[in-house]
Amino acid sequence: MRNELEIMERIERYLDGELSPEDRAAFEKQLADDPGLREDLQLQQDLMSGIARAAWKDKVQQARRRYVRRQRFWKGGTGGFVVLIVVVALVWRPWVHEGHRKPYMLPAAASVLDTTHRTDTTRKTETANPAGRVASPGAVGLPWKITLPGVVDSAGARFALKKGQHDSTSKKVDDVDTHLPPETFRIDATRDTVVETKGGIVFAIPAGAFLLDDGQAADGAIQLLVREALDPASIIRAGLSTLSGDQLLESGGMFSVNASKDGKALRMDPARGVYAEIPTDSVKPGMQLYSGKRLTDGTIDWVNPQSLEHDLVPVDMQTLDFYPHPYLDSLRSWGYNSRTKAFTDSLYYSFAQLFGSDQGTGVVTFRDETIMPGAPQRSDDRQVTDTVYPQRDSTSNRRDLPCNINPAKIKAIWNKQFQNTLLATREFEERLRWIHRTGNGAILDLYVSHLDRNLSDIDSMAAKLLTRQGKKMLSEKFRYFHDRKDGKVRNGSGQFQQLRDYYQQKEKLFTEAAVQTEREFRATQAEADRRRQAHQEDSVSRVYWNYKQEMAFNLSRVCRQLGYDPALAVRPPARYVYRARLSILGWCNLDKAVGSATRDRVTTSIIDAQTGKNAIISYSPLTIQVSGSEAYDRVNVYLLPDKLSSFIRLSGDNKKYEGKLNDGMTYNLVCIAYKKEQAFYHYESNIGAGDHPPLMPDMIGAAELDRRLNLVGRGTQAVDIQKENDWFRFEFTDRTRQENWDRTNALRCTVMRLLFPCLLLKERECQFMY
């Protein structure tokens, strides 16, 4: 043990450079030899670093607090500050994420100050309060009124002050002052100033906050005297009471502020007031503001509790997050860029289509819901639904699964129309997260319909509504919000009715727009699907008819070779007649032989059993290559036989195309290649069998290509090949759309499952929906 301590001491002295040169050299040698010692050294160094870092971090965080405070003060003030109590004990709740403090604004009426002027001491007179209650005249006054928010705490008040503990003589009053030494600040009354006391109270004093006796604003240098009693010990030491009647109150802290200029006491300007932030560790809902009333026996009684109302600070809407909670985080965790608002918005708002009343499109929608009794009535006839119930089948009516509210509602409020309303506040942002979870759009409607009310009032309305719907837990949550007593935005936008109307209109509009977009989306896809289908059918049909026609042709040749009149037997079937039946009489055997020869495209010799004559159908192979084929996106090689009404597409990978030429026909060759949208074209008439040198198609414009294709081939070949060409052109341009569609689909479906679990979408159902 000792040894280790000694080692550590040595290391420390080495690090501090306190070793003599010889010791130092010896130590370094030891270091070189002993890895354990090296490790020790490194650890100790790290520890030193860590300690320094801890201290440094602390400073940084203090700096941050100061920064935040500066920002909040200068940005948060809306117009004038409301007059504040000079001595106030307040509690507020620390901001959840950042530990910032919420400012309290007290109504002017609540401020109370005693005016006293004691002639029996040499003390300076203290300030007078122009508004509010004044203590009973003649009372030997304390220079402040203490107002305490308090709750009756029967479980044991923090301060077990007994009644009558106070000595009612003025001597005790002196004690109070002496036990609480003041802090003095010198400020320039003509400038906005922020001061911070030792105890951590921050005062924001606007310019001209103090008035001289004649009502003029004080200017120049003034003196502020602040006394604080923020912890129980100080309060007790100061002899301050926490009694209201005979009820014990719980204090959040007390302080007094007095201002003077050149020895003369100043008053506070009721129109401006001073803004105070007092640090607290815990939230105490139910806090109220008590006014201090000085009784004739010298004690202070706390009377007239008023609920605290604090103003909301509006922020820029764009900095708020109105999405339902897991949305952005999930997107981010799936690797999407959740910062691009255009993207996150468009994806989220597209789900408004789920709330459309349109039933016939096959789009999954939610069943229309009748208005819940007691919910705010809507003057317009409702086209859009408020609450979501899954439609799938009545047995799977999962009301217990949550579903988020209509995104169109969010879109209707998340814009600059609602800047400077209570929607544009962090307080509302917090509530909105829970509103999403209620799955009940009527709750959101409540907030939008009552923009002129206090947030806490709307909270309680929401809580009532939720209770009526039997959602106890959520109702509790809104009751908890209500207890925070959040107020309004001062000097906010007054256009309440207009905003209400705007909201209702927009919600409808956006929902319908989303439904429309969805419809168009599907229509486009349906169209593409249809075309693809048509093309496939065409191809199949073409191959079939080619076969039939070639078969007929071969048959007639064989007939001729065998000496029969082909006219008897064969008529090339018409292509576009349905249900045409080939009637080849009496040639069943030949039929089969010719049929298989045609189908397999192999040279076949057919012997007529009756006559012994010999007929041949012969096919020769053809190989086509296209030079530079890897560079093309698509290469198609077509044969245009003169005896068939359509073309033959040669199969082959991009490199080699193989086919069999019927010796009885002449073939023209067409090759169309595409590099992106640029077409390349090659034409050869009367192509012969065998291997050919690689084709080199030439660049060609779309219109020119059409013209050429019109000229090639005979009969319907031109039409057919053009159709084919058109399809490939379409398919290429559509490919991007198709890929995007597929990709978006997957994402949309996943997000839909996330945000609207009541739909009970399974993963594979995502395919069926689209």
CB of residue 389 vs another protein: minimum separation in angstroms? Answer: 34
CB of residue 189 vs another protein: minimum separation in angstroms? Answer: 24
**Contacts (CB under 8 A) with another protein, residues 304-343:** 332, 335-340
- Residue tagged 């202070």 (tokens): 300
Q: How does DSSP classify residue 32?
A: H
Contact region with another protein (CB under 8 A), list: 25-33, 39-47, 150-158, 620-628 = 39-47
- With beta carbons less than 8 A apart as the criterion, state whether 355 and 385 touch: yes
Angle 38-40-44 from CA coordinates, rounded to 5°: 120
DSSP of 93-135: PPPTTT-----B---GGG--------SSS-PPP----SSS--P
Q: Which of 43, 607, 631, 696 binds another protein (CB under 8 A)?
A: 43
- Residue tagged 């806490």 (tokens): 456
Per-residue x/- track, 684-723, another protein (CB under 8 A): ----------------------------------------
CB of residue 341 vs another protein: minimum separation in angstroms? Answer: 11
Q: Which of 8, 26, 152, 540 binds another protein (CB under 8 A)?
A: 8
In whole angstroms, give the CA distance from residue 43 to residue 165: 58
95 or 480: CB nearest another protein = 95
**Contacts (CB under 8 A) with another protein, residues 67-96:** 67
Q: Which of 13, 30, 31, 40 binds another protein (CB under 8 A)?
A: 40
Q: Which of 15, 25, 26, 60 binds another protein (CB under 8 A)?
A: 60
Report residue 412: phi and psi, to 5°: -70, -25
CB of residue 5 vs another protein: minimum separation in angstroms? Answer: 4
Q: Which of 32, 48, 233, 543 binds another protein (CB under 8 A)?
A: 48
32 or 60: CB nearest another protein = 60
Q: How does DSSP classify residue 220?
A: S
Contact region with another protein (CB under 8 A), list: 41-49, 403-411, 585-593, 741-749 = 41-49
- With beta carbons less than 8 A apart as the criterion, state whether 519 and 357 touch: no
Q: Which of 28, 46, 677, 691 binds another protein (CB under 8 A)?
A: 46
In whole angstroms, give the CA distance from residue 712 to residue 703: 15
335 or 693: CB nearest another protein = 335
Q: Which of 50, 374, 690, 715 binds another protein (CB under 8 A)?
A: 50
Contact region with another protein (CB under 8 A), list: 61-69, 385-393, 398-406, 458-466 = 61-69
User: What is the largest distance, in Å, between two alpha-carbon atoms of the chain?
Assistant: 153
SS (H, E, C) 675-712: ECCEEEEEEECCCCCEECCCECCEEECHHHHHHHHHHC
- Residue 39 touches another protein, criterion: CB under 8 A: yes
The two structure tokens encoding residue 132 = 């509010």
Report residue 583: phi and psi, to 5°: -120, 100
52 or 696: CB nearest another protein = 52
Q: Which of 18, 23, 33, 53 binds another protein (CB under 8 A)?
A: 53
Q: Work out the angle between the directed axes of helices 716-755 and 702-711 (0-180°, nearest 10).
A: 140
CB of residue 47 vs another protein: minimum separation in angstroms? Answer: 5
Contact region with another protein (CB under 8 A), list: 52-60, 142-150, 246-254, 291-299 = 52-60
CB of residue 43 vs another protein: minimum separation in angstroms? Answer: 5
Q: How does DSSP classify residue 420?
A: T
- With beta carbons less than 8 A apart as the criterion, state whether 203 and 235 touch: no
- Residue 52 touches another protein, criterion: CB under 8 A: yes
Contact region with another protein (CB under 8 A), list: 40-48, 273-281, 511-519, 608-616 = 40-48
- With beta carbons less than 8 A apart as the criterion, state whether 77 and 192 touch: no
CB of residue 37 vs another protein: minimum separation in angstroms? Answer: 13
- Residue 534 touches another protein, criterion: CB under 8 A: no
- With beta carbons less than 8 A apart as the criterion, state whether 149 and 90 touch: yes
Task: Indicate the SS3 state at residue 634.
Answer: strand
Report residue 15: phi and psi, to 5°: -65, -35
In whole angstroms, give the CA distance from residue 192 to residue 207: 5
53 or 163: CB nearest another protein = 53
Report residue 145: phi and psi, to 5°: -110, 135
- Residue 198 touches another protein, criterion: CB under 8 A: no
99 or 362: CB nearest another protein = 99
- Residue 4 touches another protein, criterion: CB under 8 A: yes
- With beta carbons less than 8 A apart as the criterion, state whether 635 and 673 touch: yes
β-pair type (221-229, 267-268):
unpaired
- With beta carbons less than 8 A apart as the criterion, state whether 617 and 604 touch: yes
Beta bridge partners of 301: 293
141 or 314: CB nearest another protein = 314
Q: Which of 15, 26, 55, 233 binds another protein (CB under 8 A)?
A: 55
- Residue 66 touches another protein, criterion: CB under 8 A: yes
2 or 764: CB nearest another protein = 2
191 or 341: CB nearest another protein = 341
CB of residue 662 vs another protein: minimum separation in angstroms? Answer: 56
CB of residue 276 vs another protein: minimum separation in angstroms? Answer: 22
- With beta carbons less than 8 A apart as the criterion, state whether 106 and 271 touch: no
CB of residue 351 vs another protein: minimum separation in angstroms? Answer: 23
CA-to-CA separations, 476 to 286, 487, 581, 675, 723, in angstroms, rounded: 15, 19, 78, 64, 66
Q: Which amino acid, residue 403?
A: C
CB of residue 393 vs another protein: minimum separation in angstroms? Answer: 39
CB atoms closer than 10 angstroms to residue 281: 7
The two structure tokens encoding residue 239 = 């002899």
**Contacts (CB under 8 A) with another protein, residues 98-117:** 98
Name the site residues for another protein (rule: CB under 8 A): 4-5, 8-9, 39-40, 42-57, 59-64, 66-67, 97-98, 332, 335-340
